[in-house]
Amino acid sequence: RMAVWDEVRRLNEELEMTIFLTTQYLEEADELADRVGIIDRGRLVAEGTPAELKRSVGADVIVARVDGDVSAAAAALDGVDGVDGVEVHGDELTISADDGSATLSPVAVALNGGAVTVRELTLRTPTLDDVFLQLTGGHMAEAGADEVPA
């Protein structure tokens, strides 16, 4: 697979060749494509650069796994610059942020000052998989179901 990626890059860069690539592996599209089109049930539902499409999904997500009073930890994040929202799921806080990189440190400081021990703090940025799932409602079309003729 990596050899194919290298050859696609070589053809594009050295020969200045435009390559039309179809793939169901969105990591591959993100890695290789200057522009991506998302097709759902035979219709083009989005098109743009990988970065543009990922920005359309929305915020970065900071995930904090904690021991202790999770509700108090969520409350400690109220008013932290850059935090757009907090959801609690068991021992995990899912924190929405427009710029997760800039918000990660203030979140860590707020959580360390609270009634919890932070076990894990992770920054997750949107992927093309997230874009696909949002645009298609999270479904893969069944073969032959609701197909739209070309």
Host H or E run for residue 26: helix 26-32
Contact 111/118 with Cβ under 8 angstroms?
yes
| Mean pLDDT, residues 51-59 taken together | 88
Stretch (H or E) spanning 96: strand 92-97
Query: How is the chain split into domains, by residue range?
Result: 2-55+128-136, 59-124
* Mean pLDDT to the nearest integer, 15-30: 89
| C-alpha triplet 110, 113, 118: angle, nearest 5° | 80
- How much is the pLDDT for 81? 93
Residue 65 has pLDDT above 60, yes or no: yes
Average pLDDT, the chain: 88
The answer, yes or no, to whether residue 106 has pLDDT greater than 80, is yes
Mean pLDDT of 74-92: 92
Predicted confidence (pLDDT) at residue 105 exceeds the cutoff of 90: yes
Fold observed for domain 59-124:
Alpha-Beta Plaits (3.30.70)
Round to whole Å and give the CA distance between 125 and 68. 26
* The model's pTM: 0.64
For residue 50, give the nearest of 73, 31, 22 by alpha carbon.
31
